[in-house]
Structures are given as C-alpha cells and as structure tokens.
C-alpha cells in the first residue's frame, strides 16, 4: 500500500510531466500563430507558455492535491468545495497578476502605472476567468475520480450484502431438507399408533427444531452453546427415526461460552452426513462433534451411498461462503476416506459490518448518489460560466467596446449559479441550511408525540 508521501511525490511527478507537455504544445502552437521564428521570439513564447503551465497549472494542481488530502471529496464535500473555491480563486488571481507583471511590465517594459488601466484590466479578467475554468475542470475531474472510487467501494459492500442475502437464501432452502420433513412426518404417523408417548416426544423435538430455524435465520453468528443444543435435539430426532443406525457424541459444555459460529451450519452438516452415507444397524453412522485448536469439528465415518452419485458440495460451499463474508478464517475440510471432518472456525465477532438492505432506497448511500448528481450539474454549470463569460467579454470589447453589455449575462447567470450552489448544499437563503429536513423531522416528532 502506498504511503501518503509516495502518493504525493507520484502525483507531483505526473503534474510536472503534464505541465511540460502543455508548455511544448502551447509553445509550438503560439510560435506558429505569432510567426515567432527567431530564436529570441520563440524563446519568449516558450517562456510565457511555461509560466502559465507551471505557475498556474502546477500551482493549482498542488493546491488540489493538498485539499483532497485534507478533506475527503465524498465524506466532507462542503468543506472541500469551499476550500477549493477560496484557495483556487485567491491563488489564480495572484498568479495571473504576477505572470502579467513579469510578461508585460518586466519583459516588454510597459508603464507599471497602467497595470490596472485600460486593456490590461480586461486582459487580467480574461486570463483569470479562463484559468478558473480550467482549474474548475480539474477540481471536478478530481471529484469524479474520488466519487467513482467511493461508489466502487459502496458497490463492493453491496455485492457483499447481496452475497450474504444469497447465502442466507440458499441456507434457508437447505436448512431443513424436504426429505427430512416428509420422513419425520412418516415416522410421526407410525409412532402415533404404535407409541403415543414417543410420538409426543418426537413432536416436541420437531417443533423445537423448526422454532430454532425461524429464530436464527436472520442472525450472522450465534453462541456455540445454542448451536450445540440445537444439534443435540436434531440428532435425537434422527436417532428416533433410525434408532441404532445413528450414533452421535456432542459435548455438553464448551471451553469458552463467548465463542460463536454461523447459525444452522451444524444442521446442514448433520443432514449431509445422513444424506451421503449408508445408515443401517449393520453399518451405523457415527457422528462426533468436538472442539479443537480454535475450531468446532464435525466428524463422521465414511460409508458412501452408491446410488447417490458424486456430491455437488453445494452445502459445504454454502457454509464456506458464509464464513468468507464475515471472517478471514477458512473452513477446513478433511477426508481420508475413513472419516470426513469439517472444521468450523470459532469466532468472537464479525469483521465486516453488514448493511441493512431492507430499506435501501432511503439509505445514506442513495442520498449521497443523488447529491453527487446535483454536484455534477453544478460543476457543469460553473465550467460553462467560466468559459462562456470570458468569450462574451472578448466579443463585447472586440466589436462594441462603447457599450458594456457583458455585465447583464455575467451578473444574471452569476446569480443563477449562486442559487444553484445553495440548492446543491441544501441551503435556503432566508431559512438557513437543511431547513426542509429539519422541518420534516420536527413535524414527524410532533406527530409521534401526539400519537
């Protein structure tokens, strides 16, 4: 991972390279336009090109990088925008005036007293607005890069959520195998006539199994003790169904009650053991659950059913995926053709923070996306203003300098731009910031208190 210093040096190196290319491109272009073919004239053109490229371009680039390091574009948008506006305008004005002083009054020996008079005022204004338009473009580009990176991160989180929900759905589908349900009902039917007391016990355990499934289906982790108690009830049901053909060993207590595992993972593994192995009194299925080396191990003897075919490993992938979403510890699977062992990591907490997808349209993520769309429109408006207004000023002074009509679009459009900025930042000129949200919250609180 790159350190901030390495990132800054790399960014500075790229900015210098870009400014060098701009110097060469504009130097060649203005040399041809001005027909500055002597060495001295060409040298001056390239000097001025370098001054604009490095003083304005590189300077604003360094400011942009510094502000982006200090304030995050996505998380601290308002601070970053205001800092960018103040710093860019201040620096651009000073830089343009400094360049013009060197260019027109040091090199070309114009009268310094004319610095803020006549044509020089409009030359300063034109250069400042054009430079601001370019600076705004690069600020907007930097914002979009950061926003896309943030959206990508959010998308990755939503993909994790989607995988979590998919894993939950697959778990729900495989939690209680339909064959287990049908077979349990068949066993219950026979027990009702043969042994009513046993049928009552069977019904009680079956109801506990399904109650546990419903209670735990939305949880990420459950205490290991609860899962072991459920596994014991589940195995007792299987034992009532298969009698001596199923034997199991489950610990009564655990070393650390704070440890947790993914809910219903034991049920899936126990059901798989019954599904893929012969279960008979001649070849009993022996299942052993024990704790070892930070894992809860579920082990059964291997006596595969020939008719079932090759295992698809869907259930095991399901468990591995669910663990993969919440921890870096891997599920381990060991098979030596005599015993089959699945090792489930014992956890204390979830590493990844899961997100609530029940009401996604009202989440902060969607609100941020909407705000970004408004900011994009504002930046497009601002860039257009900074490009078009200097052009109108040029047209005005070129063709009708007697009447300064450029003030009308400049002020009118500027007012519209100002109100657009207030709208983006949710600021009402008379009622203050976030007035609508505050009023809605106030009315909702009043309604709640009334009820």
DSSP letter at 277 equals B
Helical ranges in 328-428 per DSSP H = 364-399, 407-424
User: Residue 3 — pLDDT band, cuts 50, 70, 90?
Assistant: very low
Count CB-CB contacts under 10 A for residue 186: 11
The whole-number pLDDT of residue 299 equals 93
Which among 10-14, 27-31, 212-216, 305-309 has the top mean pLDDT?
27-31
- Per residue in 424-433, pLDDT (tens digit) is 776 665 555 6
- Per residue in 234-251, pLDDT (tens digit) is 888 888 888 888 888 888
Percent of the residues in the chain that have a pLDDT greater than 90, as a whole number: 4
Rounded Cα–Cα distance for residues 428 and 113 (Å)? 44
Q: Residue 219 pairs with which residues in a beta bridge?
A: none
Within 8 A by CB and 6+ apart from 384, the residues are none
The region of weakest confidence among 120-134, 328-342, 415-429 is 415-429
Domains of the chain: 1-150 (no CATH), 176-345 (3.30.565.10), 404-451 (no CATH)
Percent of the residues in the chain that have a pLDDT greater than 70, as a whole number: 75
H or E element at residue 150 = helix 118-175
Query: If you average pLDDT over residues 305-310, what whole number do you get?
Result: 60
Hey, is 289 helix, strand or coil?
strand
Would you state the structure tokens that stand for residue 66, as one six-digit string?
């510094």
Q: What is the mean pLDDT of the chain?
A: 76
Rounded Cα–Cα distance for residues 111 and 100 (Å)? 12
pLDDT beyond 90 at 288 = yes
């Amino acid at each position: 991972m790159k350190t901030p210093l390495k990132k800054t040096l790399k960014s500075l190196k790229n900015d210098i390279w870009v400014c060098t290319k701009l110097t060469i491109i504009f130097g060649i272009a203005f040399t041809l336009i001005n027909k500055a073919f002597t060495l001295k004239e060409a040298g001056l053109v390239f000097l001025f090109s370098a001054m604009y490229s490095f003083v304005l371009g590189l300077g604003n680039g360094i400011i942009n990088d510094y502000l982006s390091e200090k304030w995050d574009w996505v998380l601290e948008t308002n601070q970053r925008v205001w800092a960018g506006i103040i710093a860019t305008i201040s620096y651009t004005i000073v830089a343009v005036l400094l360049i013009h002083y060197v260019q027109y009054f040091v090199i070309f020996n114009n009268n310094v007293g004319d610095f803020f008079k006549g044509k020089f005022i409009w030359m300063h204004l034109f250069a400042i607005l054009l430079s601001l338009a370019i600076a705004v473009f690069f600020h907007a580009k930097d914002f979009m890069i950061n926003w896309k990176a943030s959206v990508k991160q959010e998308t990755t989180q939503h993909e994790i959520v989607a995988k979590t929900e998919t894993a939950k759905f697959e778990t729900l589908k495989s939690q209680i195998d339909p064959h287990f349900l049908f077979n349990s009902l068949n066993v219950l039917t026979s027990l009702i006539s043969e042994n009513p007391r046993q049928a009552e016990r069977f019904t009680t355990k079956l109801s506990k199994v399904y109650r546990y499934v419903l209670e735990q289906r939305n949880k990420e982790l459950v205490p290991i003790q609860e899962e072991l108690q459920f596994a014991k009830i589940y195995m007792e049901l299987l034992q009532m169904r298969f009698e001596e053909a199923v034997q199991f060993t489950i610990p009564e207590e655990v070393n650390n009650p704070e440890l947790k595992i993914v809910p219903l993972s034991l049920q899936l593994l126990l059901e798989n053991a019954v599904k893929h192995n012969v279960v008979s009194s001649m070849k009993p299925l022996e299942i052993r659950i024990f704790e070892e080396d930070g894992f809860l191990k579920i082990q059964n003897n291997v006596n595969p059913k020939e008719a079932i075919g090759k295992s698809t490993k869907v259930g095991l992938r399901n468990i591995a995926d669910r663990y993969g979403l919440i921890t870096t510890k891997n599920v381990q699977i060991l098979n030596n053709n005599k015993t089959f062992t699945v090792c489930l990591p014992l956890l204390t907490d979830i590493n990844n923070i899961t997100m609530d997808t029940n009401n996604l349209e009202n989440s902060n993520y969607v609100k941020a996306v909407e705000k970004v769309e408004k900011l994009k429109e504002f930046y497009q408006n601002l860039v257009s203003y900074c490009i078009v207004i200097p052009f109108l000023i040029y047209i005005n002074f070129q063709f009708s300098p007697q009447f300064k009509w450029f003030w009308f679009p400049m002020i009118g459009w500027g007012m519209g731009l100002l109100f657009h900025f207030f709208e983006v930042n949710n600021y009402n000129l008379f009622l203050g910031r976030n007035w609508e949200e505050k009023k809605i919250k106030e009315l909702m609180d009043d309604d709640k208190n009334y009820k």
